Each structure stands twice: as C-alpha cells, then as structure tokens.
Amino acid sequence: MRRIVIDPVTRIEGHARITLQLGEDGRVASARFHVEQFRAFERIAVGRPFHEMPALMARTCGICPVSHLVAAAKAGDAILAVEVPEAAVRLRRILHLAQIVQSHALSFFYLAAPDLLLGMDADPARRHVLALAEAEPELVRRGIGLRAFGQEVIARLAGRRIHPSWVVPGGVSSPMSAETRDFVRSGIPAALASVEATLDAFKRSLSRHTEEIQAFANFPSLFVGLVAEDGGLEHYDGRLRVVDAAGRIAHDGLDPTRYAEFLAEREEPDSYLKSPYWKALGPERGLYRVGPLARLNLVDRCGTPRADRELAEYRALQRGAQLSSFYYHYARLVEMLFCLERMDELAADPRSLDTRVLAHAGPNRLEGIGVAEAPRGTLIHHFRIDANGLVTGVNLVIATGHNSLALHEGVLQTAKRFVDGERLQEGMLNRVEAVVRAFDPCLSCATHAVGEMPLDVTLLSPTGEPLHRLRRPA
C-alpha cells in the first residue's frame, strides 16, 4: 500500500490536505480530508457584550460575512425577545441574497470554472481564472460583473463590501434609500441575463463531465436545510426539512433553534473540521449534505418564475433527490437566478423603504439561537449570556462542517474512481481537488482557518511512507 498527499488543496477557501492510502493493487484504499488550521472564534467571543456579536462574527469570513452577521443578529433578536420590524427583515433578506450572488459567483467563475471549461486535465499552470479570461472572456466578464453587483449592493446597503456591521440585534441600523433601491433594481436585468447565459453554457458542457457526475461524491445521503412555509426556497428564515436519497421528506417543520435535538458533532483525530451527523442515525449512518444541492432537493419549488423553470429542467436529470455533488455547481447557478429575482421583488415593494427598521430593547433572555442558509448551507449561531449581557458561551455550526462527512466520502469515491497509483497523473489528483471544490468549502468559517485554502495531497505506501506529494502555494 502507498500514500498520496495533496497539499495544499487549491482554489478553495482556507487550507486543507488530502491523504490517499493506496492498496497493493495501486488503487486507492482509503482517503482523508484534513483541515489543519484553527481560529477559535467561539473562545474569542466569550466575555464580549452580546450586541457586539454580529459585527464580531462577521469577521469569521471574508466571503460570507453577511451570513454570519445575519445569523448572529438573529440570535441577538432572540436575546432581546423583540419582533424585528418588517422593513428590517426585508432589508436583511436583500443583503443576504446579494451576498449569496457574489459568493456563488466567486465559487463558480473564479474557482470551479477553470476545471469545468478548460478541462480537468488542462495544464495546471494555466488552469485558473486568468487563463479562462483569455479563452472565455465573455464568461469571465459575466462572472466578474455578478460578483461586483452583489458586492456593490452590500456596500450600498450596509456601508462596506466586507465585514459590514449594519445588521444588529433588533433590525438594521439605517433604512434603505430610494437611490439604493433604484441601484438594486437597475442592476437586476443584466445580472439575470448573465446567469441565464452561464446556465446555458454550463448545461451544454455537462456531456463532457459524465464521469465526474458519476463519481463526484455521488452517493445516497440525507439532505438538510431551511425551507419556507410554502415549501419554497429560503435563505433567511423558515423551518428545517430533511429529505432522503429518494427525495422523500423524512422530517419537516422542525424548529431550527432546537438543532441540538437533531444534530450531534463528532471530532476527527486528524482535522479541526468537526463532523456533524443526524443524531438519530448515529455517526456512521447519519451523513447528510447541506448547501445549494441540498436546498434544491428539499424544496417544493423555488418560488420565482425563472428559477422555477430552471428547477424543472434540473430535476428532469434524475428521479428523486439529485445525488451527485457535481451538481452543486448547477444548483448554485439556479440559486443565483432565484436570489436576483427575489431581490427585485423585495426592493420593488414600497414597504422596503419604511424607515422603522430597528426595535430597541435590552436583554430579555439569557440564550439566543440564530439560523440562516448561508451560501454553503445551514449556519447556526448559538449564544449564552450572563445577566450583564456578556457572552458566556458560543456554539457555531457552520455549513462546511455539516458537509464534513460527505467530503470524506466524496474524496474517497473520486480518488477510487480516478487515481491510479501506478500511473499517477496530475489530472487524476485535480479531480480529487475538484470534488472538494464542488462543495465550495469555506474552512476559514468551518475551523474558525486563516487565509485561502490551498490543497495538499499525499500518497502513502502500504507501510505508510509518503511516496508522492502534490503541494501548491495558496
């Protein structure tokens, strides 16, 4: 048996390493996905006033700070025990949807598209967004435009693109101006056209990726996430729904603030990434997936016309739940359509301009839980405070963490399918990285790691000696 190490994994957020153990036949026998960095946001927050939590928690991540901001503010709402004004909820939603657009654009266009459009076996030195811009400039222009639009909406609403602090317990700190409303609405048509053109190109490319579709974390599992009251796609609120691999609803209407009754977390000996599992099924059988793939498996409908048309086409690919994690990319594009359509609906409603956007109160509870659907999946912020409003305990359950067990299984499945230890080629290992990218893991969030996520893959001999290492700088 031999071992391959991919270190670092590239084009993902954070730092990770993959170890592949080979059997005597040269094929992969086992695989591990290690996350080696540590930040301990749960500890940093202890002792701070609870009303600082949204701004502090937004610092967890530079890609999805708004999700942390929203989840932490919702936990703060629960501590205040107030009803957040309707206009504030609308503005929080617009902000959060804008962030999902920019985050999905980054994942698809900057990180994944070089593999999808230049090829998994393309020269690794030229398999990046810059080379893609030379080959497909219009596509990259669209991606840059979508990300810039999402970022600019965040900046105009919340004051800054990254780490805003505009969402606070009780609402938001200022109303939306008519000028910002007009900016949001005026950018939607071009953004929708960009996503639809990209969807067309992506769907045409699917026939080139049949092997990856079959082998990229394509296995039965549960899918978990928030769903709107009417069964529609939901990113801000809603109740937890669980579907099985056949697409049947296993649980519905679960109160997400009671997450501890449904979910348990397993610590891994070789990774700072915790592995949640569905408690009733135990750590071996309780693997589930969250994020765009899961959300499209969970909902009855998206709830907006263009996204629903695309969802119908997407669902025609397979009966039951869509099981291949390759389709995370597809689901991201459908979700971007939904986010843009819903942003426009919300901005067009005059109630979104209401100036009553903040409920004032002191702490009325000693515990609060806030849950939202971040770009990568369900995000849970749980705070406990003392009588003075100072934080005494924090638990963060992060989207990438939910997918931890699926990432391990997916890396193993992909490595078994593509990696030949006797005739090792870079493209084989790139596919192992690419399955990780399909999940769009954000390890800065999930381990509370510093910086980008490069990949490190190590190949081990039957006796455990490192035989090959693929390591790239961040």
The answer to whether 468 contacts other proteins (rule: CB under 8 A) is no
Q: Is 31 within 8 Å of 48 (Cβ atoms)?
A: no
Interatomic CA distance for residues 6 and 429, integer angstroms:
7
DSSP code per residue over 332-374:
HHHHHHHHHHHHHHHHHSGGGG-S--B-------SEEEEEEEE
Among 134, 182, 255, 465, binds other proteins (CB under 8 A): 134
User: Is 377:325 a contact under the CB 8 Å cutoff?
Assistant: no
- Our finding on whether 151 is near other proteins (CB under 8 A) is yes
Residue from 144, 201, 250, 264 touching other proteins (CB under 8 A): that is: 144
Beta bridge partners of 390: 49
Can you name the residues that pair with 381 across neighbouring β-strands? 370, 396
CB 141, min distance to other proteins, A: 6
Figure out which of the listed residues 44, 82, 129, 390 binds other proteins, where binding follows CB under 8 A: 129
Residue 137 is a binding residue for other proteins (CB under 8 A): yes
Query: Is 469 among the residues that bind other proteins (CB under 8 A)?
Result: no
Helix axis angle, 86-105 to 65-80, nearest 10°:
160
Per-residue tokens: 369 = 């839980």
Tell me whether the omega of the peptide bond preceding residue 85 falls within 30 degrees of 0, making it cis: no
Site membership for other proteins, residue 269 (CB under 8 A): no
Among 27, 128, 239, 469, binds other proteins (CB under 8 A): 128
Binding piece for other proteins, criterion CB under 8 A, among 124-132, 216-224, 329-337, 461-469: 124-132
Binders of other proteins in range 38-67 (CB under 8 A): 62
- Pattern of binders to other proteins over 441-460, x per CB under 8 A? -----------x--------
Pairing of strands 222-227, 288-289: parallel
**DSSP characters over 86-146:** HHHHHHHHHHHHHHHHHHHHIIIIIIIHIIIII-TTS-GGG-SHHHHHHH-HHHHHHHHHH
Burial class (CB in 10 A: 0-12, 13-18, 19+), 179: exposed
CB atoms within 10 A of CB 348: 12
> Which of 64, 75, 111, 242: binder of other proteins (CB under 8 A)?
111
Stretch that binds other proteins, among 131-139, 194-202, 266-274, 457-465 (CB under 8 A): 131-139
Q: Determine, following the binding rule CB under 8 A, whether residue 162 of this chain makes contact with other proteins.
A: yes
124 touches other proteins by CB under 8 A: yes
Cα 195 from Cα 149, distance rounded (Å): 12
Under the binding rule (CB under 8 A), the answer on residue 131 touching other proteins is yes
Least distance (Å) between residue 361 CB and other proteins: 32
| Residue from 266, 301, 315, 472 binding other proteins (CB under 8 A) | 472
Is 155 a binding residue for other proteins by CB under 8 A? The answer is no
Residue 253 makes contact with other proteins by CB under 8 A: no
CB-wise, 279 or 472, nearer to other proteins? 472
Contact residues for other proteins, defined by CB under 8 A:
10-12, 62, 106, 110-111, 124-131, 133-134, 137, 140-141, 143-145, 147-148, 151, 162, 452, 472-474
